[in-house]
Structure 1
Amino acid sequence: MILLNLSGTVSKFRSYSFLDDELNVVLIFIKALDRCRLFLIISKIHKKSSKRIPLPPGPSPWPIVGSIPELYQKKPIFRWILGLMKEMNTEIACFRFGDVHVIPVTCPEIAREFLKKQDAMFISRPITMATKYASRGFLSTIFSPSGDQWKKMKRVLVSEVINPFRVRWLLGKRTEEADNLVRYVYNQCISGVNVNIRVATRQYTGNAIRKMLFNKRYFGDGRNDGGPGVEEEEYMDAVFTVLSLVNTFCVSDYLPFLRRFDLNGHEKIMKEAIRIVNKYHDPIIDERIREWREGKKNEVEDLLDALISVKDSNGKPLLSTEEIKGQVADLVYASVDNPSNAIEWALAEMINQPEMLQKATEEINQVVGKERLVQESDIMQLNYVKACAREAFRLHPILPFNVPHVSIVDTTVAGYFIPKGSHVLLSRSGLGRNPKVWVDPLKFNPERHLKDPSVKVILDEKDLRFISFSTGRRGCIGVELGSVMTSMLLARLLQGFSWEVPHGESMIKLNESRTDLFLAQPLIAHAKPRLPEHVYPAHKNNY
């Protein structure tokens, strides 16, 4: 998930003013520096660099600040970067921001050289304002630079938290939330209202990870129809704001002396969003730790218990309270956005092509029937349903770029010099929409993933022709979990309901947001139950 301009996901966080005047003053000052001194610096750098392998092609940078002026002016910056690469007809480029070389890549072969052949060289992460807040000072796994802390937390995740045993062990909790999803949409149907698919999909992913982490769906009283309560709405708004900010190009991340000005307004927004997330997480975590320490709890019932109960070689708790809190937040951030975005897009595309809806439901009818709800054990046989989800990951990725990989040494990739400290960005949209790799790349076509009927479709893409889940040493540990959550989300929506455009409309508008890769407007669709009434889950008490 990384390096976007601030997403418009949560409108209430847009109210903060941006300090444009201060940045303009700084830029004017930089441009007014003594030209002779700059010429000498440039000449020295050029003389030194001319003796080595060239950097990847890119725009001519300003002295000292590189392309910082463009970073501020060309918004959204990811569209400028990818557009310029297309103009230059290159699949690897180099943009210098301050003294940081940012290397975007749109070619699968080059991407494999970075994350397979030389993966060990690109194992670190950048240190940014937003990732520091999100990880409680780099105590968790996703955003932490390489080092002992990252290795420690990864060992804990792999051995105790996100492993095949835990995924199977948590099946019941995920099934409860898949049932609640069906109940919620069914209640919308019988109420005669159109369904907001974005709310439904994010509610499902948020509920599922909360149930697996905290053994509870709601932070407050929730709603009788299975939908989100006011607490969950506030919480998910804050979570998606955090995600938009950790995926943002921020001027002060490349020119740290400017951070005190908060030129983009990002730090103020980030602090407020993190405050809201912590408001809901911290009391639960603090109380649970107290129960374990006082002996009131000694049985692992969810992932929070698993983190608390990990012991070191002396039988003492291995993780501090801050490490637990940081890792809990990490698991939330890693779980909620990717499946919900892919399925919102998949359903939007399929509603506009009803033959796809029919083919998917016929497959589910054949494998599962209409007298029970689809289960995770059925997913292996639902090749067409998975192909639809896989195609959504390819064509409609959650982010333009993956989380940056930082080079820990000077090296050479694809014949270009990659300096130590470079930020390597694999372009999710560039890889998945690369016309050299994909025929008719902008067309939503699940059949492209079904050429060999003997091969079971998986959502992961090992050869980096697109990115559904990140790969390599810093890859997604929860690929299996993310895959089953995504597949169940789509399968339950397709099995339980017939979908069509809202009355009075001819088709779903598939416009991409200007500032990110979400649908420009949340998907609103008309749903009708397609199963016998007794199959739908009855109302249950809130969890």
Structure 2
Amino acid sequence: MDVTYPSSLALALFSITLVLALFVRSLRSKKTKGQLPPGPKGWPIIGNLFQMVMNRPTHEWFHRVMADMQTEIACFRFARVHVVVVTSSEIAREVLREKDEALANRAEAYSIDLISHGYHGISFSAYGEGWKLSKKVMVTKLMSPTTLNNTLVSRTMEADNIVTYIFNLCQSGSMKKPINVRDATLTYSHAVMMRMMFGQRHFDEPAEDGGLGPKEKEHMDAIYRALDCLFGFSVADYLPFLRGWNIEGEEEEVRGAVDIINKCNDPMIRERMHLWREKGGKEKEEDWLDIVITLKDDQGMPLLTFEEIRAFCKDVNVATIDNTMNNVEWTIAEMLNHPDILKKALDELDTIVGKDRLVQESDLCKLNYIKACSRETFRLHPPNAFLPPHGAREDTTLAGYFIPKGSQILVSRPGLGRNRKMWSEPDAYKPERHLDDYSRDSMGVSMLEPDMRFVIFSTGRRGCPGTKIGATMIIMLLARLLQGFDWSLPPGASQVELVANNSNLFMAKPLLASAKPRLAPGLYPKIQV
């Protein structure tokens, strides 16, 4: 979502702060108990809010300020909230390991409140018993080895569907028409998420061509618009009395997005709750929605309310989409600009899997070069500028600096991945650098990054509970697309323009590439809906 911020907003902010100053003049600001991290000089009362508004996108401004100050930790003050940005792997490990309990809260914001239905679920709720229960459900129920094994058939079905969907596109009309790679990755990601969460691919009628139907596309678009709002750095996030005024247009945007997601999800949730809680249910639980609805407390009563189940569904919606799409699209784009890397990936697939069967999840552990390519893409092209903010539950320290209670800590993805102290040639795409970290005689290249030299999945107390399924979806999709098709630049193109979006770090334009089937026609199965 690209938002234009008019100069009148800055004037309105200035006027509001004058009024605010009359109310807070008599209030004493807490004296800090130590030295804060370095940061830009701000105004009285509002701190750096005016600079934030005048320097969009905010993540680029953060990084420019830190580069000018030559610091890997910086403190920006927005009204009474200290926002601390970290670009060092050493300090990131301190945030996510040594101090992860002290920094285990989340930020409060209008968009987060709406998306999480009042800070429910695992992603956005405050640290406490409710969050611990949500994480336990996610880890021991939804992400358990038994549950993931039970959903293998559904994931394989969608891996089959995506290669057939592209195969059909290649056969229809002119084969010179380029494939929208982003559309293909979103089709797979959404379909896998739907099958695991709801047990079906479509909300209503299936799309005839094997792609997303109109309602699925609307659902997907709403998820992305909601995700953009989560990293919007709205003025109202730091001046709570402004929430609901829609002064930057973002609140209307997130309300519309959440309404669409609810319109799609809620009927399925209500129908399934009615089936399990009033009609006796099924013979067994078949998907994640069945699992969360049938959970019981110590008294045998339903464990989760309707609002909590809605929040769980949205956690799954937003967590299973952006990483897969972003990583696979950028990886193929980089390979098209580096034919030698593409050839090495194809050689690995042909050697390990061959061309007489489709790659399966059981093959992924052996595809070390393809995993190295994915890791390099995570390092160079993360989906967003920051991990979800960590909130300080108490006064603490980072890198020797004082961090007041209530501060928000932002770990920078590009700050880690392109840190010149950590990486040689940080702007170059070199998958081989990840092969050097692992022995071919051990478990091979891992999709974890415990040292936080860059971010694949968040770690620590508030880390991603779906690391295994997330990594599997990414490598499976990438391997299937590479094995199934010869990819090349569209006619007339000399290279892919590697430019990131402003609001997030997705490719600014969807990747268009020519594709030609490289397997026997009989290996592309029929679409299974």
TM-score (norm 2): 0.95
CA-CA distance at 1:515 after TM superposition: 3.2
Unaligned runs of 5+ in 1: 1-6, 9-13
Aligned pairs (5 A) from 1:246-261: 246-261=230-245
Match of 2:112 in 1: 131
Residue 499 of structure 2, aligned match among 470, 490, 511: 511
Question: What letter is aligned with 2:342?
Answer: L
- Residue 38 (structure 2) pairs with residue 54 (structure 1): no
Within 5 Å, give how 1:32-51 maps onto structure 2: 48-49=31-32
Q: Distance in 2 between matches of 1:477 and 1:309?
A: 21
Shift of 1:20: 6.1
| Local SS of the residue matching 2:317 | helix
Please tell me the residue identity of whatever aligns with 1:58. Answer: G
**Residue 240 (1) aligns with residue 240 (2):** no
Give, in angstroms, the shift of residue 353 of structure 1. 0.8
1:53–1:415 Cα contact (<8 Å) kept: no
Question: Is residue 395 of structure 2 the alignment partner of residue 410 of structure 1?
Answer: yes
SS across alignment from 1:313: coil
Which deviates the most, 192-201 or 74-83?
Answer: 192-201
Q: Displacement, 1:476?
A: 0.1
Deviation sequence 1:488-518 (CA, Å, 0-9, x none): 0100000000100001111111112233211
Q: What is the CA–CA distance in structure 1 between the aligned matches of 2:105 and 2:164, rounded to whole Å?
A: 43
Asked if 1:392 is matched to 2:377, the reply is yes
Equivalent in the alignment of 1:168: 149
Q: Partner residue of 1:4?
A: none
Match of 1:437 among 402, 416, 422: 422
Distance, in Å, in 2 between the alignment partners of 1:536 and 1:267 is 44
Report the Cα offset of residue 18 of structure 1.
6.9
Structure 2 letter corresponding to 1:169: N
- Say if 1:22 and 1:261, in contact at 8 Å, map to a contact too: no
Which letter maps to 1:319? L
Query: For 1:342 and 1:221, how far apart are their aligned partners in 2?
Result: 29
Which position in structure 1 is the counterpart of 2:330?
345
Kept after mapping to 1: 8 A contact 2:13/2:50: no
- Count of aligned positions: 521
Task: Provide the C-alpha distance between the structure 2 equivalents of 1:341 and 1:34, rounded to a whole number of angstroms.
Answer: 43
CA distance in 2: counterparts of 1:189 and 1:460, whole angstroms? 35
Distance of 2:88 and 2:94 partners within structure 1? 10
| Pair 1:493 & 2:474 matched | no
CA distance in 2, matches of 1:277, 1:32: 37
Q: Is the 8 A contact 1:18 1:265 kept in 2?
A: no
**2:349: which partner in 1?**
364
Of 188, 204, 222 in structure 1, the residue corresponding to residue 206 of structure 2 is: 222
> Corresponding residue for 2:304?
319
Q: Per-residue deviation at 1:225?
A: 2.1
Shift of the alpha carbon at 1:19?
7.9
In structure 2, do the counterparts of structure 1 residues 270 and 178 end up closer, same or farther at CA, with 3 Å as the change threshold?
A: same
3-state secondary structure, aligned to 1:228: coil
Q: Deviations over 1:209-255 (max 9, x none)?
A: 10101111112323222111111111111010011111210101101
1:88-167 equivalent positions in 2, closer than 5 A: 88-167=69-148
Q: What is the aligned partner in structure 1 of residue 12 from structure 2?
A: 25
Question: 1:449-488 CA deviation, whole Å, 9 max, x = no partner?
Answer: 0014424111221111111111100000000000100100
Contact 2:330 2:381 in 1 (8 A): yes
- 2:10–2:50 CA contact under 8 A, matched in 1: no
Deviation, structure 1 residue 164: 2.0
CA distance in 2, matches of 1:246, 1:463: 26
The answer to whether the Cα contact below 8 Å between 1:130 and 1:246 also exists between their aligned partners in 2 is: yes
Cα distance in structure 2, aligned partners of 1:521 and 1:30: 38
Letter in 2 for 1:447: E
- In structure 2, relative to structure 1, the CA distance for the partners of 1:504 and 1:475 (3 Å cut) is same
* Counterpart residue type for residue 24 of structure 1: L
Q: Which residue of structure 2 lines up, in the alignment, with residue 11 of structure 1?
A: none
AA paired with 1:146?
Y
Give the Cα–Cα distance (whole angstroms) in 2 for the partners of residues 449 and 26 of structure 1: 47
Could you tell me how far apart the structure 2 residues matched to 1:45 and 1:273 are?
Answer: 37
* 1:75 paired residue number: 56
The 2-side partners of 1:508 and 1:22 are apart by 37
Q: Contact between 1:388 and 1:446, CA under 8 Å: does it hold in 2?
A: yes
Helix, strand or coil at the partner of 2:167 = helix
1:64 counterpart (33, 36, 45): 45
1:473 to 452, 461, 485: 461
- Contact 1:140–1:153 under 8 Å retained in 2: yes
Instruction: Report if aligned partners of 1:188, 1:194 keep a CA contact under 8 Å in 2.
Output: no
Instruction: Name 2:520's counterpart in structure 1.
Output: 532
- Which residue pairs with 2:191 in the alignment? 207
Q: Distance in 2 between matches of 1:33 and 1:431?
A: 37
Q: Is the 8 A contact 1:351 1:500 kept in 2?
A: yes
CA distance in 2, matches of 1:522, 1:425: 28
The alpha-carbon deviation at position 157 of structure 1 amounts to 1.2
Q: CA RMSD in A?
A: 1.9
Correspondent of 1:462 among 445, 450, 472: 450
Contact preservation (8 Å) 1:20, 1:263: no
Counterpart CA distance in 1 for 2:199 and 2:16 is 55
Q: CA deviation at 1:45?
A: 5.9
Structure 1 residues 34, 406: CA separation in 2 closer, same or farther (over 3 Å shift)?
A: closer
| Alpha-carbon distance in structure 2 between the residues aligned to 1:425 and 1:499 | 37
1:307 aligns with 2:292: yes
Deviation at 1:21, TM superposition (A): 3.8
Q: Is the 8 A contact 2:236 2:243 kept in 1?
A: yes
Q: Which amino acid aligns with 1:400?
A: A
Give, as a single letter, the amino acid of the residue that structure 2 aligns with 1:419.
Answer: P
Q: Which of 311, 318, 330 does residue 315 from structure 2 map onto?
A: 330
- Alignment match, 1:3: none
Q: What per-residue deviation string (whole Å, max 9, x for no partner) do you get for residues 183-221 of structure 1?
A: 111111112231101111111111101010111111232
Q: Distance in 1 between matches of 2:307 and 2:284?
A: 22
CA distance in 1, matches of 2:5, 2:490: 38
Shift of 1:26: 3.8
Q: Partner letter of residue 464 of structure 1?
A: M
- Greater shift, 83-92 or 317-326, is seen at 317-326
